[in-house]
Amino acid sequence: MITKCLTRLMDETGATYSMVIDRAGQVLSSEGEVHKGEMMHLGALLAGSYASSREMARLLREDNFRVLVQEGAREKIFTETVEDRWLLVVVFDHHAHLGLVKVLAKRTTQSLAEILRLVIERNEMYRLQLSGEFPRAAKDTIDLIFGNDDSSETPK
């Protein structure tokens, strides 16, 4: 579903690349014709830029700067926060219009927020299921390894 959101955004804006990263810079999903290794580095650098902008916002007594725009001679990078936990990154050239990217990225961040919330909820439910099963499985494994057989104990 994340891939579908990124692909739609790229199709509608004419962007060359898009990705969702966490605040540490780990790429969760990406679309476009760029070497994945380069995007891992770009993700880390953008996460650093975002952290820096958060500190600037704090110094200016702002809640946060939700959007970062970097413009080069050939390409632009638009970054927007998703639920203050992830970043949507859109790389586009001079053919794409920044205003259009902003509007469509806002819609995409709302869709991504819903998707990522669902993922977190499912992971939490799975974690809770495992946490109930793990202690029992660990105890059974330890008993197997060390030969704790309750049936062989003599009553006191």
Question: pLDDT digit string (tens) for 81-123?
Answer: 999 899 999 999 988 899 999 999 999 999 999 998 888 888 8
Question: Is residue 29 in a domain?
Answer: yes
Residue 136 in any domain: the answer is no
CA angle 80, 85, 86 (to 5 degrees): 45
The answer to whether residue 148 sits within a structural domain is no
| Domain CATH for 82 | 3.30.450.30
Is there a domain that residue 137 lies in? no
Do residues 3 and 9 touch, judged by C-beta distance below 8 A? no
How many structural domains does the chain have? 1
DSSP 154: P
pTM higher than the cut 0.85: no
Residue 71, domain extent: 2-119
Amino acid type, 109: T
| Token pair 């390409």 in the structure block, residue | 75
Contact in structure between 39 and 27 (CB atoms under 8 Å): yes
- The pLDDT tens digits of the residues spanning 57-76 come to 999 999 888 999 999 999 99
First-residue to last-residue Cα distance in the chain: 62
Comparing CA positions, the residue from 114, 61, 58 lying closest to residue 86 is: 114
Asked if residue 153 is part of any domain, the answer here is no
Is there a domain that residue 156 lies in?
Answer: no
> Does the residue 129 lie in any domain?
no
